[in-house]
Structure 1
Amino acid sequence: MTAAERFFCADAARTRADSLAGTAPYGSVWVLIEHRGGWPPNGFDGLDLDPSTKGLVFSAAQSVRARVLLIRRPGRRGPAGPRRWAVLRHETPGAYRQQWGTWSHDQDLTEIVDALGAPGELGCPPVFLVCAHGQHDTCCAVRGRPVGRALSERWPNLVWECSHVGGDRFAANVVVAPDGVYYGNLDATSSVAVLEAHLADRINAKHLRGYTDLFPPQQAALSAVLERFGPAGRHDYEVVDTSREDNRWRIRFTGRPPHPTAIEVVVHSHRTPPCQLTCRGLSMSSAAVYEVTSIGAD
Structure 2
Amino acid sequence: MPELPEVEVTRRGLLPHVVGRRIVEVTVRHRGLRWPVDPELEALLVGRVIARIERRGKYLLLECLPAQGSGAEPGWLLVHLGMTGTLRVWPEAPAPGPHDHLDLVLAGMSGSASPAGSPASSPAGSPDGGHIVLRFRDPRRFGAILWSPLPESELPSHPLLANLGVEPFDARFDGGWFHRHTRGRSAAIKTVLLAGDIVVGVGNIYASESLFRAGIRPTTPAGRISRERYDRLAAAVRETLAEAIARGGSTLRDFVGSDGNTGYFQLDCLVYDRTGEPCRVCGTPIRQIVQGQRSTFYCPHCQR
TM-score (norm 2): 0.29
Give the structure with the higher percent strand: 1
